[in-house]
Amino acid sequence: MKYVSTRGQAPALGFEETMLSGLARDGGLYVPETIPQMSHADIRALHGLPYEEVAYRVMRPFVGDAFDDATFMRLIENAYASFGHAARAPLVQLAPGHFLAELFHGPTLAFKDFAMQLIGQMFEEALKRRGDRVTIVGATSGDTGSAAIEAFRGLDAVDVFILYPHGRVSEVQRRQMTTPTEANVHAIALDGHFDDCQARLKDMFNHFEFRDAVRLAGVNSINWGRVLAQVVYFFTSAVALGAPDRRVSFTVPTGNFGDIFAGYIAKRMGLPIDKLVVATNQNDILHRCLSTGDYLTDSVAPSISPSMDIQVSSNFERALFDAYGRDGAAIAQLMDELKAGGFHVSQGALEKLREDFTSGRASEVETLAMITRAHATMGELLCPHSAIGVHVAERHLDPAVPMVTLATAHPAKFPDAVEQASGLRPPLPERMADLFDRPERVTRAANDLTELETLIKERIAL
Ligand SMILES: Cc1ncc(COP(=O)(O)O)c(C=O)c1O
Ligand SMILES: N[C@@H](CCOP(=O)(O)O)C(=O)O
């Protein structure tokens, strides 16, 4: 299995190199050259299997010879052992035909744990075998950072630097990143918003002298391994509702387009998915683009769903690559236009995108109202991101096709918004009960590439 860049100018790589290198050297994102297929019989055979076994069967063809069968299974089992629910991604029914996939039972209470716990295992195994070490730099609007720190804290072969937007993550998210005591963990509060963090991270990958000197690696959804691990719960959810003998739709609270792109990969593998609904908050560039074809960046408006306060949606590039017939030069041209503020998706590409994706948005008022109503009438306390999903999903229900909305974070990560809407302040799980008493350790930094690179080099003593 080979991976190719969306910009067409970087060498094709195997799974392990793709995973360890992050961004392609031409600035693009890696995608599989071909998508492995699962027949209806293969999908039917997933019924009743434990999550780990489904994960193995879905991901195995993508991994090639990077790990032997027994090792790959062991890594998967290790990855999900710390989850607080036996089903890993349980489904609950919200209303007739509408289900919620609870993806927040991992160690940091967000869906990021599904992929991050696994790539933590895969990095450790691959680096041990190679006798190598890497510097991970991650950009976060709150959840990727805490999940990455949890997955990589204390590992000898890794330093992990997380850039988060100062003052724009929830207090729980911030403390998850700033309170770990391990010396290989470095939380950096950047003066800017998430898009600045992600842009500086991509600048570092494109600055080869720095990239090679620190052995830079990425664990954002830039990393194909992240997307791959997220494909699995689309399968477990759909199979639980009758796939492949019944079509299923998904609504995904969306920011960087990684999670919904994982759904698209599941569909391309053969899972009978009807609609993939992109649900955005007021930072709705994806909804506007799918509605009009214009992908035009605007200033980010801070919201009560801070993890989705994103305007430059990294993985949309992967979807565009397919929509433009895998024409790397066309994608490179669009990404150049994006630097100047945006681009227009061609009519043909827009029609291709609309074959798979539809979209909706929720305002701040609608998000709060959804939390209130879900608590009062559905018995579910939703985080603001998940509430956006449920709000948008309700506008795309079809009596003939079950809808699954992904609940991407635990409500206790965003207690202020949840309390405002429901009157309930959800408690953190027991194992995190002292989070607010632990001392914080964080470095404040300007939105400046040279300053950030110097800081990282000093910390790893280069
Ligand atoms: C809680 C939560 N919901 C939704 C999203 C959006 O997911 P994606 O960036 O994969 O679109 C994020 C951040 O990525 C998140 O942290
Ligand atoms: N919402 C994310 C933003 C980064 O997304 P990623 O999936 O590319 O890592 C976050 O919580 O950090």
In the chain, the domains with their CATH numbers are: 87-108+224-422 (3.40.50.1100)
CA–CA–CA angle 120, 233, 160 (5° rounding)? 20
Is there an atom of ligand 1 within 6 Å of 240 CB? no
Tokens of 406: 């992904």
Ligand 1 mean position, distance from CA 389 (Å): 11
pLDDT in tens, 346-367: 999 999 999 999 999 999 999 9
Per-residue pLDDT, 436: 97
Is there an atom of ligand 1 within 6 Å of 165 CB? no
Per-residue pLDDT, 298: 87
Ligand 1 mean position, distance from CA 101 (Å): 14
389, 411, 430 from 281: Cα distances, Å:
9, 17, 31
Provide mean pLDDT across the span 194-212: 97
Per-residue pLDDT, 421: 98
**pLDDT at residue 133 greater than cutoff 80:** yes
Per-residue pLDDT, 231: 98
Contact (Cβ atoms closer than 8 angstroms) between residue 277 and residue 293: no
9 vs 462 pLDDT, higher one: 9
Burial class of residue 457, CB neighbours in 10 A (0-12, 13-18, 19+): middle
Gap between the Cα atoms of 218 and 449, Å rounded = 16
Q: Residue 125: pLDDT band by 50, 70, 90 thresholds?
A: very high
Gap between the Cα atoms of 387 and 364, Å rounded = 10
Gap between the Cα atoms of 186 and 163, Å rounded = 9
Name 221's Cβ contacts closer than 8 Å, sequence gap at least 6: 115, 144, 227, 256, 257, 258, 261, 314, 315
Q: How many residues does the chain have?
A: 462
Q: Kindly provide the ipTM of the predicted complex, given to two decimals.
A: 0.99
Is there an atom of ligand 1 within 6 Å of 116 CB? no
Which atom of ligand 2 has the smallest separation from the CA of 314? Answer: 8
Gap between the Cα atoms of 81 and 96, Å rounded = 32
76, 81, 184 from 159: Cα distances, Å:
23, 24, 5
Provide mean pLDDT across the span 186-209: 97
Provide mean pLDDT across the span 29-51: 98
Q: Residue 461: pLDDT band by 50, 70, 90 thresholds?
A: confident
**pLDDT at residue 330 greater than cutoff 80:** yes
Provide mean pLDDT across the span 311-317: 96
267 catalytically annotated: no
Per-residue pLDDT, 185: 98
Which atom of ligand 2 has the smallest separation from the CA of 138? Answer: 9
Rg (CA), the chain: 20
**What is the full DSSP assignment across 315-379?**
THHHHHHHHTTT-HHHHHHHHHHHHTTEEE--HHHHHHHHHHEEEEE--HHHHHHHHHHIIIII-
